[in-house]
């Protein structure tokens, strides 16, 4: 049995005038994540963890923030497309995610995020874990000016 593990990290500024899309879920809030795509830091961290597990570079190479066709792109679509290139050879064992966000409190969206991520990956929801932390008021994340995410993905060769 061949296993591959990957790690992903992402951070986006939280600004007024953008919808908040995080973990594949749109959350009502007065600010949203700034980015060329929808700015979904959780999904970007998962994409990078999958790519990292396979030594395939990073999400910025596949979806450059200079490309017109990726402007405003739904990050779940990126995740689905990446998994389509992977799924013939590998399946997800599990995904573990930290979402570091001071405000809003996101734990009531956990089940929706797990479902959205599992569906995009073709994985069972029991294989996906999303955890939430604040940054204890420290730094830019603690001031509510940014949201960060970390992800670890374990893949198993089919």
In whole angstroms, the minimum distance from the beta carbon of 10 to Zn ion comes to 4
Residue 83 token pair = 């998994």
Shortest Å, Cβ 152 to Zn ion: 17
Nearer residue to Zn ion within complex by CB, 35 or 128: 35
Nearest 5°: the CA angle 88, 59, 39 is 120
Strand 128-133 versus strand 146-157 pairing type: unpaired
Tokens of 32: 């949203």
- Specify whether the CB–CB gap between 142 and 136 falls below 8 A: yes
Query: CB 2 → Zn ion: shortest distance, Å?
Result: 29
Angle at 113 between CA 83 and CA 129, to 5 degrees: 80
Rounded Cα distance between 93 and 146, Å, is 30
State which residue has the least CB distance to Zn ion.
44
The nearest distance, CB 121 to Zn ion, in angstroms, is 17
**Ordered DSSP codes for 100-140:** E-SSS--GGGHHHHHHHHHHHHT--GGGEEEEEE--TT-HH
Give dist(CA 88, CA 97) in Å, integer: 24
Q: Which residues are at the interface with Zn ion (CB under 5 A)?
A: 10, 44
CB closer to Zn ion out of 18 and 44: 44
**How near is the Cβ of 95 to Zn ion at its closest, in Å?**
17
Nearer Cβ to Zn ion, position 60 or 137?
Answer: 60
Using the minimum distance from each CB to Zn ion, give the nearer residue, 78 or 92: 78
Tell me whether residue 4 or residue 44 sits nearer to Zn ion (CB atom): 44
């Amino acid at each position: 049995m061949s296993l591959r593990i990957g790690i992903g990290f992402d951070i986006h500024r939280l600004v007024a005038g953008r919808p908040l899309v995080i973990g594949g879920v749109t959350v009502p809030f007065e600010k949203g994540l700034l980015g060329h795509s929808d700015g979904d830091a959780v999904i970007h961290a998962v994409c990078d963890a999958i790519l990292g597990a396979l030594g395939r570079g990073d999400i910025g190479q596949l979806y450059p923030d200079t490309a017109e066709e990726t402007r405003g792109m739904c990050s779940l679509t990126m995740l689905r497309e990446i998994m389509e290139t992977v799924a013939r050879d590998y399946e997800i064992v599990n995904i573990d995610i930290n979402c570091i966000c001071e405000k809003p409190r996101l734990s009531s969206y956990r089940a929706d995020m797990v479902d959205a991520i599992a569906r995009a990956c073709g994985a069972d929801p029991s294989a996906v874990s999303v955890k939430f932390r604040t940054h204890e008021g420290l730094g830019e994340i603690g001031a509510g000016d940014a949201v960060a995410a970390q992800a670890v993905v374990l893949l198993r060769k089919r």
